[in-house]
Chain A
């Protein structure tokens, strides 16, 4: 069922780029500087195929913000940055005058806020463009190793598909790369494809 066409992927990439633009605007208002977020690639694969290369995870520990979305399709979304990068992002969000200890204290809250902004911007762009409504749960943040992240993504038998967005984030000229992963059931992916087809049908 993961046989999405080039045009499906193009549509998803454009939708998520619009979401990234919205998230960048929100984040730039928080940090008071230009923020660049782009989604250079979108990949939909069977979760069995997921590995550290597809997720661009290079070992170490990761900050993962998780949020559940439900509507015409249900998805669990996981936003991943390395823990080091997560702390730098938090530092940028909280202001450079804070010490490392103070930044670490706010890590959980700030990463939940970052996840909330990026995830909701991406999902709201999708909902607006494909004309449906999605509800979201509160974000949850935890630190995990690359193996724990991969195991967690692969073990969910009810959601055998993953949609992976590679994310480039630059705040104050500091570049960070992360991944946004959506875990999808077969029926959720099928419903998503139906909505993309309806959207493409309306413009072709």
Chain B
């Protein structure tokens, strides 16, 4: 799958600089479904219009993106082409433990919930709705 990163709100070609403690946060959406990315982006921007939203369609691209842009938050699908979302999350968090990742998936079996928890993340059940987005936002901003 082609490397797909969509830059919204700002046309960025280099690492974007956001002042520390700024309300402008960077969120990376990782999902192979364009529709799912659209849904998450729309719901997030409705509540946090100042945030910068980025997208990738697979775990490998997400890892590359994080190396370049270091987002504050990330939503991660599990079932995607290439490595699984939970494997991608593990690799990202081992390198950048400050990033908060919400695993967004329809696959809500206990084994996946436990895996997300063991990574220091949470699993939020799809479909993407106002309610599921509220859970993700609470997790992102709770301890800040």
- B5-43 vs A, CB cutoff 8 Å, 1 = contact: the mask equals 000000000000000000000000000011110110010
Contact A203 B105 (CB under 8 A): no
Chain A residues closer than 8 Å to B120, beta-carbon distance: none
**Residue contact B79 to A17, C-beta cutoff 8 Å:** yes
Do A34 and B109 form a contact, CB below 8 Å, given A17-B79, A18-B126, A125-B127? yes
**Residue pair B42, A21 in contact (C-beta under 8 Å):** no
B111 sits at the interface (CB 8 A)? yes
Residue of B nearest to A21 (CB): B106
What separation, in Å, do the CA atoms of A193 and B35 have in the docked complex? 15
What 0/1 readout, one digit per residue, does chain A (122-159) give for beta carbons within 8 Å of chain B? Answer: 00010011000000000000000000000000000000
Expressed in whole angstroms, the minimum distance between the Cβ of A92 and any Cβ of chain B is 15
| Bound Cα distance A136, B137 (Å) | 37
Chain A residue, CB-CB nearest to B126: A18
CA distance A30 to B134 in the complex (A): 31
The minimal Cβ–Cβ distance linking A112 to chain B, given in whole angstroms, is 23
Are A203 and B42 within 8 A (Cβ)? yes
Instruction: Give the distance to chain B from A142, nearest Cβ to Cβ, in Å.
Output: 30
Query: Known contacts A17-B79, A34-B111; is A7 also within 8 Å of B35 by CB?
Result: yes
**Would A25 and B38 count as touching, CB distance under 8 A?**
no
Please determine whether A18 and B38 come into contact, CB atoms closer than 8 angstroms. Answer: no
For the A-B complex, the count of residue pairs with Cβ-Cβ distances under 8 Å equals 47
Q: Which residues of B contact A99 (CB under 8 A)?
A: none
Q: Decide: B34 and A10 in contact? CB cutoff 8 A.
A: yes
> Which residue of B33, B38, B39, B110 contacts A17 across the interface (Cβ within 8 Å)?
B33
Chain B: interface size category: 10 to 19
Q: State the Cβ distance, A108 to closest chain B Cβ, in Å.
A: 27
Tell me if A11 counts as interface (CB < 8 A to partner B): yes
Partner of A24, one of B35, B36, B109, B126: B109
Say whether B79 contacts A14, CB under 8 Å.
no
> Are B126 and A21 in touch, CB under 8 angstroms?
yes
Q: Which 4 A-B pairs have the closest CB atoms?
A: A21-B106, A18-B106, A14-B33, A21-B107
**Measuring CB to CB, which residues of chain A are less than 8 angstroms from any residue of chain B?**
7, 10-11, 13-14, 17-22, 24-25, 28, 34-36, 38, 125, 128-129, 200, 203-204
A-B contact pairs, 27 of them (CB 8 A): A7-B34, A7-B35, A10-B33, A11-B35, A13-B33, A14-B35, A17-B106, A18-B126, A19-B106, A20-B106, A21-B107, A21-B108, A21-B126, A22-B106, A24-B107, A25-B108, A25-B109, A28-B109, A34-B111, A38-B79, A125-B106, A125-B127, A128-B127, A129-B127, A203-B35, A203-B39, A204-B38
